[in-house]
Chains A and B, each alone.
Chain A
Amino acid sequence: MPRIAGVDIPSQKRIDVSLRYIYGIGATLSQRVLERAGIDPAKRAGTLSEDEVSRIAGIIETSHVVEGQLRRQIAQNIARLRDIRCYRGFRHMKGLPVRGQRTRTNARTRKGPRKTVAGKKGVKEMQR
């Protein structure tokens, strides 16, 4: 099993797909990396030679931010917004949508599962 960018161990899938198991590499970037490395994307990850694996690893390590480093970068960006106490920072603190979406309905991705409030309009009907 090849190892690229730290702990990631893709599998017997096509190399273009298994590269996407690395945090920070999606379909487009995977394609571009393989193009630069000159490797057929249809090849299975397990069948790659050592040289090919290290070529991919080299490209990713030198020109892309992935995994822990990327996670840290994102967390830092959010921490900065919090620290300067700007509107976007408040929205992150409160766990509400940051980019001006409505919150009267929807916004469940940010708000999490619904918390039903007793006595509110509509609750009685739901119990029937």
Chain B
Amino acid sequence: MSRSTKKGPYVDEGVYRKVAAAKHSGARAPIRVWNRACTIVPEFVGVNFEVHNGRAFAKVYVTEDMVGHKLGEFAPTRTFKGHTARATSAAPK
């Protein structure tokens, strides 16, 4: 079920404050965040983030298209390296 519109989007206050501060001071350094559930609001456009994926930080540069998505959507938590390639049909019975 989607979130009630009455509540508005979930934006983490700490993240929002950091973005506001960075914009105010003009700092370009990426903002490190763990809050993957935080929705990207228009104010975030043009900001560099480093979003935690459970192990490392993924670099995310926010563009206009990303508004409305959550930060975590851009930092994949799983690494799939493919299935093991078995010797095809040559395997003895």
Contact = CB atoms under 8 A, between A and B. Distances in A.
Range, interface on chain B:
10 to 19
Interface residues of A, number: 11
B91 A119 contact: yes
Nearest to B84: A117
Contacts of A118: 86, 88-89, 91
Residues of B contacting A: mostly = loop
Contacts, number: 26
B62 to A, nearest CB: 9
A80 B73 CA distance: 14
Given A118-B91, A119-B91, A86 B83 contact: no
Interface of B: 63, 65-66, 69, 72-74, 76, 83, 86, 88-89, 91
Given A85-B74, A86-B74, A87-B76, 20 more contacts: A80-B65, A83-B65, A84-B65, A84-B66, A84-B74, A86-B69, A86-B73, A87-B72, A87-B73, A87-B74, A88-B73, A90-B76, A117-B83, A117-B86, A118-B86, A118-B88, A118-B89, A118-B91, A119-B86, A119-B91
